Amino acid sequence: MSLPLPTRADVLAAAPRIARFAIRTPLLESDRINDACGMRVLVKAECLQPRGAFKMRGAANRLLQLTPEERARGVVAFSSGNHAQAIAYVARALGIAATIVSPSDAPAVKLASVEADGARLVLYDRVRESREAIAAAIAAETGSVVVPAFDDAAVIAGQGTCGLEILEQAADMGARPDAVLVCTSGGGLAAGIALALDGAAHLVCVEPAGHDDMARSLAAGATVANEPGVRSICDALLTQAPGDLTLPILRAAGATAVTVSDADALAAMAVAVRTLRLVAEPGGAVALAAALRGLAPKGASCVAVTLSGGNVDPATLMRALDQAASPLEAGNL
């Protein structure tokens, strides 16, 4: 663990840097969700970012620190879609050529967005091919700079600005979260928020069932990868293992992890539509799902949850709205 880790100072420095690209999203509260959870639940509406995900924060922080020479060489990123969209957006605005390596089964809305922003799209087979290898080959061939989706100090620091806002906005609302529940795959957002919190609240990583690599890695104190081949509706959260930067940050922060089912994620999407009028994709709804499932730390009276991304194919959104009322949907949720 000798890699230099980003610090809270890096997060503080990122906040003004990224203001041109990422907005200060609202921290919303619904009395109905509070009643259902038996506590205050503050929802950080990151799906309102341009291109629909918190990824804009890290992408902007990373690309804005490229040297002129690096900008000229272009960037390459591998992503199932939300990091890809953010990179394509920022790269276009900065006049940087971008190549995106995406799994061929990524949601169509995500792939279309990347192409609309003028990035070159390279598809691969999620099961048979390695996106890291493809991206490395492209980088070697073209000299492009690889921008990782989570295991990068500038990306983590950028995502952490979300945590700074949660603390400030909660204080403005007279609230003090005991815990922050964060949608987690590689752990970039979770690690960034952990840096921002600096112990002010407990950090809980929320993963989809079958993709609890972070939970198992935190328990083992070392990187444990997911079993290959397990599917989940949470297309944004299918990374195989925590990062070499994110895991040490989350371990040092004393983070814990919980998992939710695909059905829970879909039910939370429906709650977001009906109660908050927000569109979240399955992977973006898992933290809200955890709160609704009663998975906040024992004794908590207030939690914050991240809600992001919001890029979902219509069929999946309809499935969420269409499904029979689940136990989560008691009362008027």
Binder to its own copies among 127, 141, 229, 277 (CB under 8 A)?
Answer: 277
Contact 52, 309 (CB under 8 A): yes
- Contact segment (CB under 8 A) with its own copies among 20-28, 95-103, 131-139, 189-197 equals 20-28
> Is 298 one of the binding residues for its own copies (CB under 8 A)?
no
Q: Considering only the stretches 11-19, 177-185, 211-219, 269-277, report the one whose residues sit in contact with its own copies under the rule CB under 8 A.
A: 269-277
Give the bridge partners for 78, in sequence order.
101
Residue 273 interacting with its own copies (CB under 8 A) = yes
Minimum CB distance to its own copies, residue 29 (Å): 8
User: Between residue 39 and residue 98, which ones bind its own copies under the rule CB under 8 A?
Assistant: 45, 47-48, 50, 52
**C-alpha–C-alpha distance, residues 223 and 220, integer Å:** 8
Burial-class residue 95 by CB neighbours within 10 Å (0-12, 13-18, 19+). Answer: exposed
**320 — phi, psi (to 5°)?**
-65, -45
Residue from the set 18, 157, 278, 305 that interacts with its own copies by CB under 8 A = 278
Candidate list 26, 210, 248, 297; residue touching its own copies; CB under 8 A:
26
DSSP string covering 129-144: S-HHHHHHHHHHHH-P
Q: How far apart are CA 235 and CA 103, in angstroms?
A: 10
* Nearer to its own copies among residue 225 and residue 318 (C-beta): 318
User: Least distance from C-beta 273 to its own copies, angstroms?
Assistant: 5
302 SS3 class: strand
DSSP per residue, 197-262: HTTSSEEEEEEETT--HHHHHHHHTS--PPPTT---S-GGG--SS--TTHHHHHHHTT-EEEEE-H
Binders of its own copies among 104-143, rule CB under 8 A? 109, 112-113, 116
Does residue 234 belong to the site contacting its own copies (CB under 8 A)? no
Q: Computed from CA positions of residues 180, 182, 187, 189, in that sequence, does the dihedral angle turn out positive or negative?
A: negative
CB nearer its own copies, residue 301 or residue 332? 332
Nearer to its own copies, 128 or 277 (CB): 277
Query: Interface residues for its own copies in 306-325 (CB under 8 A)?
Result: 310-311, 314, 317-318, 321-322
Nearer to its own copies, 30 or 246 (CB): 30
Size of the residue set binding its own copies (CB under 8 A): 32
Closer residue to its own copies in complex, CB, 241/278: 278
SS3 category, 305: strand
**The one segment of 29-37, 123-131, 260-268, 288-296 that binds its own copies by CB under 8 A:** 29-37
Q: 34, 41 in Cβ contact below 8 A?
A: yes
Helical spans, DSSP H, in 1-130: 8-17, 31-37, 55-63, 68-73, 82-94, 108-116
Q: Residue 175 gets which letter from DSSP?
A: -
In 3D space, the residue among 28, 1, 107 whose CA is nearest the CA of residue 275 turns out to be 28
Q: For its own copies, which is the closer residue by CB, 286 or 295? A: 286
How would you classify the pairing of strands 179-183 and 202-208?
Answer: parallel
Residue 244 interacts with its own copies (CB under 8 A): yes or no? no
CB 94 within 8 A of CB 82: no
Q: How far is the CB of 11 from its own copies (least distance, A)?
A: 22
Stretch touching its own copies by CB under 8 A, among 4-12, 60-68, 134-142, 273-281:
273-281
Nearest to its own copies of 63, 257 (CB atom)? 63
Binding region for its own copies (CB under 8 A): 23, 25-26, 28, 30-32, 45, 47-48, 50, 52, 109, 112-113, 116, 273-274, 276-280, 310-311, 314, 317-318, 321-322, 331-332
